[in-house]
Structure 1
Amino acid sequence: MVKLYLIRHGETEWNKAKRFQGWTDIELSQEGRRQASLLGERFKKIDIDEIYSSPLKRAVETARPIADIKGLEIKTNENFKEINFGEWEGMTAKEISTKYGKSFDEFIKYPENGTFPGDISFAHVTERIKIGLRDVLDGKDDKNIAIVSHGGIVRLIIKYLMAFEGEWYNKTWIDNTSVSIVEVRKHGNLLRVLNDYSHLL
């Protein structure tokens, strides 16, 4: 069994402004750095064997306190980058809706079936997630592994690992520096924790 700790990065200024970030390489805000520090403190008493991260700054910055506390190297993996939203990035949902209209509004309502600039579809994103998870999981057993990524990617990782059907994406949320835990087992995976940000409270 491999226990995966799936972690969203800390807050950025674009999070505060509710702007689509995607692949735009935004650093953590002051609050985001505080959140990452508290996240690191949480992991002092948790065994972690490896830590992987999206290569985007906000994810690596969030992974750093955990890596430092546990004495681990951060292994960046391109497949854990956020969903690429192309020309939508940097805009708020209202701004995108005003400019692109129905195509954006339909995506927001039915994201699993919608298309968008950049990565085009969740199916395409899930294919790269599968590659990233193979990099992390192949040949591993009895390990605790952290993956620091992005809200959209964490939701899609969970949906894939748990084989959830239908409109999963819009029925949950992943907060900044929240921890979700999936046990990857030979005879059926188990979602143990979803969106726990108690270290911030």
Structure 2
Amino acid sequence: MTAKATRYLYLARHGEATADESELTENGRRQAQLLGDRLRDVPLTAVHHGPLPRAAQTARLIGDRLKDVPVRQVEAAGDYVPYVPGKEELPADAAERLLAFLEQFTAQEREEGAALAREAEERFTGPVDGTEDRHELVVTHNFLVGWLIRAALDAPPWRWLGLNHCNAALSVIRYTPGRAASVLFYNDMSHLSEDLRWTGFPPEARA
């Protein structure tokens, strides 16, 4: 039997981006640097990021604060819709609003997103082969963070909707052999100064 060890998956949304999403704002760059400082003493084996500029730039800035940790682009860490539910899956009082939101995505985008979500789960979740624990960071987007948190909690597939993650906030999931996945914390911003918190989050839900 192949030995299995614990995986610690660190999930971060990219830093605050400009209106055209072509790069980070000054706040976004500072958010990424502060997140890198927080992770400096974590024994990360890799930083994975999606292909869009705001995620790639965030990952590079984090990587600059780390020591000899490879930074790698992975398409499955990108920005896409992981799952589109049928109306019958959704709470009756929220179904129309949620389906209206999802209508903006084409059939091709939905199909490609579902395939990438499966790839992300296969690549980033679950215990790892071997005897050494693994710590990995994925710099991604709001939708994938919600999808992987939902999966760790065994929530229904549609429940990625409504899980919002702030820019450069941190979530950590632990996958231990023989045990259910454990969300150690979610959307943590303690490494960010007060003026850099809550960006990218719906204004009505800010604390």
Q: TM-score range by the shorter chain?
A: 0.7 to 0.9
TM-score, structure 2 length as denominator? 0.70
User: Equivalents in 1 of 2:191, 2:148: separation in Å?
Assistant: 22
Sequence identity (%): 24
Spell out the pairing of 1:1-201 with structure 2 (5 A cutoff).
1-14=6-19, 26-68=22-64, 69-83=66-80, 109-110=97-98, 114-118=102-106, 120-121=109-110, 125-136=113-124, 139=129, 142-165=133-156, 168-186=159-177, 187-201=179-193
- CA deviations over 1:56-86 (Å, ceiling 9, x no partner): 11111111133222322211111111126xx
Other structure's SS at 1:194 match: strand
TM-aligned CA distance change 1:134 to 1:112, over 3 Å? farther
* Cα distance in 1 for residues equivalent to 2:10 and 2:176: 14
Shift in alpha-carbon separation, 1:136–1:152, aligned structure 2, 3 A = closer
| Structure 2 portions without partners, runs of 5+ | 1-5, 82-93, 194-207
In 2, are the aligned partners of 1:4 and 1:144 still within 8 Å (CA)? Answer: yes
Runs of 5+ unmatched residues, structure 1: 15-20, 85-105
Letter in 2 for 1:133: E
Instruction: State the AA in 2 paired with 1:144.
Output: H
Instruction: Tell me the CA shift for residue 157 of structure 1.
Output: 1.7
Give the aligned partner of residue 200 of structure 2: none
Contact 1:183 1:189 in 2 (8 A): yes
Letter in 1 for 2:80: I
Higher helix share: 1
Distance 1:111 1:53 in 2: 28
Q: Give the Å deviation of 1:170.
A: 4.3
User: Residue type of the partner of 1:54?
Assistant: G
TM-score, normalising length: structure 1 = 0.72
Match of residue 86 from structure 2: none
Which residue matches 1:99?
none
> What amino acid maps onto 2:186 in structure 1?
L
Rounded to whole Å, the distance in 2 between the matches of 1:166 and 1:156 is 8
Give the AA of the match of 1:56: L
SS at match of 2:40: helix
Whether the 8 Å contact between 1:39 and 1:65 is mirrored in structure 2 is no
Distance 1:116 1:107, change over 3 A: farther
Q: 1:3 to 1:111 in 2, by over 3 A?
A: farther
Could you give the per-residue CA deviations for residues 19-73 of structure 1, whole angstroms, max 9, x where no partner exists?
Answer: xx8xxx6211111111111111111222211111101111111111332223222
